[in-house]
Amino acid sequence: MGLVNRPTQLAKKQALAAVGQVHLMRYYEDFLSALGLRCAQVLLTLDNLANRDQYLNARNTFTELLAYGAIPVVNENDTVAVQELRF
């Protein structure tokens, strides 16, 4: 992105996190596919785990991913969860 300094505005940090997420997943995809494995991106927030229905949905998704032989790559969804980005 050609930035010299880390942005201070939250929206800019969120946008950069979204751009970086693509590169991160490409790395995981390349690495795991070289080993004959597949990966799946799972973006969560704390709310997804605190809410029982959302937690159960996430758990069911993990169960199915593992049944398909996919390795879940879990990261926080920084475009909507912003607590860590504030620092």
pLDDT in tens, 30-51: 999 999 999 999 999 988 999 9
For the cut 90, the answer to whether the pLDDT of residue 14 exceeds it is: no
pLDDT of residue 9: 87
Of 29, 14, 7, the C-alpha closest to 81 is 14
The predicted pLDDT at position 87 comes to: 41
Q: Residue 12, class by beta-carbon neighbours within 10 Å (0-12 exposed, 13-18 middle, 19+ buried)?
A: middle
Judged against a pLDDT cut of 60, whether residue 86 lies above it is answered with no
Residues making up the chain, counted from first to last: 87
What average pLDDT does range 48-69 have in this prediction? 96
d(CA 20, CA 10): 15
